[in-house]
Amino acid sequence: MPVRLLALIPVAVAISLALSAAVDAVALPLFLDTTGTILATTLAGPAVGVAVGVLTSAVNTLRNPTFWPFVVVQIIVALYAGLAARAGLFRSLRTAVPAGLGLGVIASLTSTPISYFVFGCTTTGGIALTTALGKALGLPPLGACFVGSFVSDFGDKAVTFALVAAVLHGLPRRTAARFPLALRAMGAT
Amino acid sequence: MSALHPFSLLAIAAALPAFAWILPAPGGGLATALVALGLTLTPGATPGSRGAGSTPGWRPGFATLRIALVTAAPFWLFLRLLHDGPSTVAIGLRITTMVASCVWLVAVLSPDRLVEAMVARGWSLAIAYLFAATLSAVPVLKARARRIVEAQRCRGLSPRGSVANRLRALRALALPLVLSAVHEVDERTLALETRGLGMGVRRTPLAAPLDRAAERVARWILLLLCLAALIRRLA
């Protein structure tokens, strides 16, 4: 692996974990914990994105052990972001946001079985309460769990995609050109 | 416990949750949860017993146990909200095992020793770098994120109001952080190339942790026991 991509991985992981401070400041129900994974994928391809996702889950696990089973979601996110980058969907917010909404559906479909079978839908307070609401509305347990995951993932991934698109367009062209996939993800090639 | 080889600590922390899920509930989960909670009381797993990290109201030896219990408690609450009694106990004990094992591992495992053990075992220096650099980069970037939040507030940024207003504020907080971090990649690349990381040479560990034969055998026994329990459960 080229040294530049190796240097990118720890930085991308740290981005995913440090953004929680910005989210806390604006008090929005977002995680943004896949920002580094998506950014690394758009800059350097899905293999680097998968490495960032796995490492993000591992480091997050040291803080909260329930993160580790969701490493699968990080891998799916990296693969999806790789396809979106190759299709040039980060060229503008108009294309990035719908792509992020699509990822929100896929991520919630992936995380629902993990959340249901491993944690009984109790991964966070918000998901537990949304699941309880779904049950109260008469949904089956798995359906109620999906509602909880969907509510937390849908908007989060759209905002994350929009943020990554803004970052790519905020990078100087010379810096972006040093990474193998960045210009293609921005639709510049 | 902290004197054990890092791979042994990792093996124990991985085996306990595996047993908790494989063995029949609630007996299996209860046994593994008790073992995991017991580990948090072992010597070396007491970060709060020294200086600034000490926890008022708890005896120093109970600091790690307290972290494990406080982390696991909300799950019991949410489980009770969503499930019947037996399911709550079964899933709750498994989650408690997972939480306690991980909290114990964080308390006893030194990242430096883990990197040295990986290098000594012949793992690529690049992989060892990824672990060490990530663990050191996270607090640095978190501190920078807090500084950016304070700086933008000083400039009059209001992170309250409508959702659109908050999203605009989020952009003003997140973009400087992410862009500065991406620019930092250049400096890190130069530093790594200067140190010869791209040449594929093998590094000599300075203080490789001692890996006793008994520990290696114990790790294999743990793995075989997990597999045996899984086969028995599926049969």
Which 108-137 residues of chain B touch chain A by CB within 8 A? 126, 129-131, 133-137
Retrieve residue A117's tokens: 């079978």
Average pLDDT over chain B, rounded to an integer: 85
Q: Could you tell me what percent of chain A has a pLDDT over 70?
A: 99
Asked whether A17 and A35 are in contact (CB, 8 A), the reply is no
Separation between Cα atoms, residue B47 and residue B106, nearest integer Å: 10
pLDDT at B200: 66
pLDDT at A104 over 60: yes
Q: What secondary structure does DSSP assign to A76-93, as a single string?
A: HHHHHHHHHHHTTTTSSH
pLDDT at B50 over 50: no
Confidence at A152, pLDDT banded by 50, 70, 90: confident
Among A18, A39, A122, beta carbon nearest to B138: A18
Summarised one tens digit per residue, pLDDT across range B161-175 is 888 888 888 999 999
pLDDT at B187 over 50: yes
Retrieve residue A40's tokens: 């690394």
Q: Could you tell me what percent of chain B has a pLDDT over 90?
A: 33
pLDDT at B12 over 80: yes
Q: Say yes or no: A14 contacts chain B, CB-CB below 8 A.
A: yes
Q: Say yes or no: B171 contacts chain A, CB-CB below 8 A.
A: yes
Confidence at B45, pLDDT banded by 50, 70, 90: low
Q: Is residue B58 classed as helix, strand or coil in its secondary structure? A: coil
pLDDT at A137: 82
The ipTM estimated for the assembled molecules is: 0.86
Q: Say yes or no: A61 contacts chain B, CB-CB below 8 A.
A: yes
Among A28, A128, A178, beta carbon nearest to B170: A28
Summarised one tens digit per residue, pLDDT across range B190-234 is 888 888 776 666 777 788 888 899 999 999 999 999 999 999 988
